Amino acid sequence: MGRLTTHVLDTMAGGPAAGLAIELWQLPGPGGGESRRLAAVVTNADGRADSPLLEGEALAAGCYELRFQAGAYLRARHGIEADPLFLDEVPVRFGIADPAQHYHVPLLLSAYGYSTYRGS
């Protein structure tokens, strides 16, 4: 059974990013339409959602976007006061080709950069 998970690590603190808000959006296909918000979660003490963002039949082939609310997290956790912040909302767009697989989208975050990849 396929599933979609995420994990956020705070590279400034050297550990998990607890308390970071994330939204999952399904993007329109080639025929157009509207983006649709599928989930909203806040990371736990390990920097993860408590359960998969999507799994089983809810996980369909298509294009998605995770929106990591990095700005609010960085202000609260690190007291960053710049206005505007260098990074605020961090969108990560990705595709699901085979919904039977596990798709893991981690984010490594700091105030001035981030990286992501398909994890396991």
Range list of β-strands (E), the chain: 3-10, 15-16, 21-26, 36-42, 54-55, 62-69, 89-96, 102-110, 113-116
Domain spans of the chain? 3-116
The DSSP code for 27 is P
* 32-48: burial string, b at 16+ Cβ within 10 Å, e else: eeeeeeebebebeeebb
pLDDT of residue 31: 82
pLDDT of residue 29: 82
**In the predicted model, is pLDDT for residue 5 greater than 90?**
yes
- Which residue has tokens 């961090």? 90
In the structure encoding, which two tokens stand for residue 84, read together?
A: 């505007």
- Which residue has tokens 């007291």? 79
Other CB atoms within 10 Å distance of the CB of residue 109: 25
Mean pLDDT of the chain: 96
Other CB atoms within 10 Å distance of the CB of residue 107: 23
CATH 3.30.450.40 fits 3-116, yes or no: no
Write the pLDDT tens digit of every residue in 28-56. Answer: 988 888 999 999 999 999 999 999 999 99
Write the pLDDT tens digit of every residue in 65-120. Answer: 999 999 999 999 999 989 999 999 999 999 999 999 999 999 999 999 999 999 98
pLDDT of residue 34: 93
pLDDT of residue 16: 98
* Sign of the CA dihedral with 52 first, then 58, 64, and 70 last: negative
